[in-house]
Amino acid sequence: MKIIIFGASGGLGLKVMESALDLGHFITAFVRSPEKVKIRHPNLTVFQRDVMDSAAVAKAIAGQDAVISTLGPSRPPVPHMMELAAKNIVAGMREHGVQRLISTTGAGVRQPEDQPKFVDKFFGVLLNLLAKEVVADSAKNVKVLQVSDLDWTVVRFPRLTDGEHMGKYRVGYVGRDSSTQFSRADAADFILKELSEKKWVKKLPLVSY
């Protein structure tokens, strides 16, 4: 499968890229800073552009079978960056007839099915106090995908770590027994399985231990 990964130079993006290459996929890594991509592989193409550039995003999407976005808010935050990135990706996919999209976001983006425990509510309040604009931008990013006609899945994760690949995790919604951290290796595992299995199309599952 030909897959483009936006945010490929970030911690999760790098892990998804590495795992996808191991599985034999052809990967285009869309990055602003190509020096952060240390992997060298015959199936890897590094595409250096900015996700805020709609023409560049559309050009990179041409010929792909699927899109994965592991983009997160920049530091320092760029106003509306996540929302505009989602709009550019959706527009590029429509232009080139690419239907399958997996995007990622934090567990703080709530869904009606969630049953957050006290610590979840506490961190939610803290995030809204300390990074209100970032939280709002992430929510708008998700909304852009939700109203699109794409086969999208938005995967929510708790705090990601460099832990080991366990291969065992739960998929559902925020609950009283969901964990507060999760390894990037297992996050990549779920993303690549869901890409083809399509069990959570047009849904926002939480993946945790």
3-state secondary structure the chain: CEEEEECCCCHHHHHHHHHHHHCCCEEEEEECCHHHCCCCCCCEEEEECCCCCHHHHHHHHCCCCEEEECCCCCCCCCCCHHHHHHHHHHHHHHHHCCCEEEEEEECCCCCCCCCCCHHHHHHHHHHHHHCHHHHHHHHHHHHHHHCCCCEEEEEEECEEECCCCCCCCEEECCCCCCCCEEEHHHHHHHHHHHHHHCCCCCCCCEEEC
At 174 the pLDDT is 79
Q: Report the Cα–Cα distance between both ends of the chain, in Å, rounded.
A: 29
2-208 classified as CATH 3.40.50.2300 = no
> What average pLDDT does the segment 110-123 reach?
62
At 130 the pLDDT is 47
At 127 the pLDDT is 58
* CA–CA–CA angle 205, 157, 47 (5° rounding): 100
At 131 the pLDDT is 55
At 96 the pLDDT is 98
For the chain, domain boundaries: 2-208
At 113 the pLDDT is 72
At 145 the pLDDT is 97
What's the predicted TM-score (pTM) here? 0.89
**Where residue 132 falls among pLDDT bands split at 50, 70, 90?**
low
pLDDT in tens, 30-52: 999 999 999 999 999 999 999 99
At 116 the pLDDT is 65
pLDDT at 176 over 90: no
**Where residue 171 falls among pLDDT bands split at 50, 70, 90?**
very high
**Where residue 138 falls among pLDDT bands split at 50, 70, 90?**
confident
